[in-house]
Amino acid sequence: MHEPLLAIQGLRKSFGDNEVLKGIDLQVQAGEVIAIIGKSGSGKSTLLRCINGLETFQAGSLTVDHQALLHHDANAMRALRQKVGMIFQSFNLFPHLRVGENIMLAPGLVKLQEKGLTKTQAQSLLTRVGLGEKFDAWPDQLSGGQQQRVAIARALAMAPQILLCDEITSALDPELVGEVLRVVESLADEGMTLLMVTHEMNFARKVADRVIFMHQGLVHESGKPEDLFGNPQTPELAQFLSALR
């Protein structure tokens, strides 16, 4: 086994008296696609927000590509954020910027790329998510599915080593879910390391290398999709899956 790209040990996170993550251990190899499932409140989104530094955790360690996440060190945080991209439920596009400008903003600010380079890059990223003709459109001219695909292109503009997806289809109308998942599937096929919190079980079954079932702030079960969905080892997972049917 190679050294993991992402290594988490004993991660604990509380909001006041409420301990949301109760000692998470997780290792992710480069190129692995992980689907994270579980009930609301099991800690799934909080785990992703800890990985990209949006939440501070109280105990444990987290390293990306051998680099420890250190909240008190601004340079370390900046370096980490260049390695970890995140896409949220809400698309969070800047409404006053055109689509292409939304994608060019972060590389220009964070990586200080000159403008010409980012325009070419933004155009190719839009083409990659199937929106090559939308460079000069305004976000409010796009459907939810198109806006989410722009958000994916924007995350990819930073060339992250890991992409975190937090229920990225849950705010979309059902007919728009497929177009976003197809883009994610193409990223998986290209070897992108993905951690996805998702309710789309068929997608998890088809695309994930490993599925993690979180329950009450812990990794309760973990394994290949066919094992986890086909032969749950705990009553909690069995109950969770039967509730989805």
CATH C-level class of 6-244: alpha beta
Task: Tell me if residue 79 falls in helix, strand or coil.
Answer: helix
Q: Which residues have CB under 8 Å from 61's CB, separation 6+?
A: 7, 8, 9, 10, 11, 68
> Would you state the pLDDT for residue 115?
61
Interacting residues of 224 by C-beta distance below 8 A, sequence separation 6+: 209, 210, 211
The whole-model pTM stands at 0.91
User: What's residue 106's pLDDT?
Assistant: 74
The one-letter code for the residue type at 151 is A
Question: Can you give the residue ranges of every domain in the chain?
Answer: 6-244
**107, HSE (Cβ side, Cα atoms, 13 Å):** 24
> Residue 204's closest CA among 34, 6, 26?
34
Tell me the per-residue pLDDT of 68-87, one tens digit each, with 9 for 90 and over. 877 777 777 777 778 899 99
Among candidate residues 228, 218, 203, the one with its CA nearest the CA of residue 12? 218
Q: Are 172 and 145 in contact (CB under 8 A)?
A: yes
Residue ranges of the chain whose pLDDT lies below 50: none
